[in-house]
């Protein structure tokens, strides 16, 4: 009898999800305003070791250009990359709204740039991190709001990065 209750519960959840999804699509179709926010790396373009080669997947530019031109949908590209790094990769004319550097900088739909200001302590810490020389094997990415060391390479890199940062 317990298995029956379990199956019933899963079926009920599945039905509820379908109803919620159908409601979402119905509301979206009749919405006065819509926004489509898409991440760049891994969604619109493949991850690449050579970051400057991460161009959008085939057909993505055309599809997003059509959405931008033919609908009232607000299109926003979101990325950890700087806006200036994204613009040549996207190659849109005019470019969509872009939120770069994890939201610290924005290019709005009218082409106006907005850059958040770092608190003084954070800016000083960033300057200090940029002046330090990490081990040659570590990659230090400098962005407007952080100096990051990608640690996914190996545990040894993580240990070296931890000792370098302290």
pLDDT at 149 (0 to 100): 46
Given a contact cutoff of 8 angstroms between Cβ atoms, the answer to whether 51 and 42 are in contact is: no
CATH topology of domain 32-115: Rossmann fold (3.40.50)
Q: What is the pLDDT of residues 66-81, one digit of tens each?
A: 988 888 889 999 999 9
Eight-class DSSP state of 57: P
Six token digits for residue 77: 């590209």
Q: Dihedral sign, CA of 101, 103, 105, 111?
A: positive
Question: Mean pLDDT lowest for which of 22-36, 61-75, 80-94, 123-137?
Answer: 123-137
More confident residue, 33 or 57: 57
pLDDT at 9 (0 to 100): 62
Q: What is the pLDDT of residues 95-122, one digit of tens each?
A: 999 999 888 899 998 999 998 887 888 7
Residues constituting the chain = 166
Residue 98 CB neighbours (<10 A): 24
64 pLDDT tier (thresholds 50, 70, 90): very high
Eight-class DSSP state of 52: G
Q: What is the pLDDT of residues 150-160, one digit of tens each?
A: 444 444 444 54
Question: In whole numbers, what is the pLDDT of the chain averaged over residues?
Answer: 79
More confident residue, 144 or 78: 78
């Amino acid at each position: 009898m317990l298995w029956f209750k379990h199956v019933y519960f899963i079926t009920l959840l599945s039905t509820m999800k379908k109803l919620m999804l159908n409601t979402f699509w119905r509301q979206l179709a009749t919405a006065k305003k819509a926004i489509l926010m898409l991440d760049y790396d891994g969604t619109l373009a493949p991850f690449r070791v050579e970051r400057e080669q991460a161009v959008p997947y085939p057909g993505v530019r055309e599809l997003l250009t059509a959405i931008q031109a033919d609908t009232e949908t607000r299109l926003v590209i979101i990325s950890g990359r700087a806006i200036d790094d994204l613009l040549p990769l996207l190659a849109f004319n005019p470019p969509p709204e872009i939120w770069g550097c994890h939201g610290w900088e924005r290019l709005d739909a009218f082409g106006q740039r907005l850059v958040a200001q770092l608190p003084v302590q954070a800016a000083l810490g960033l300057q200090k991190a940029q002046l330090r020389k990490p081990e040659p094997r570590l990659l230090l990415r400098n962005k407007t709001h952080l100096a990051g060391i990608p640690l996914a390479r190996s545990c040894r890199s993580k240990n070296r990065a931890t000792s370098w940062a302290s």
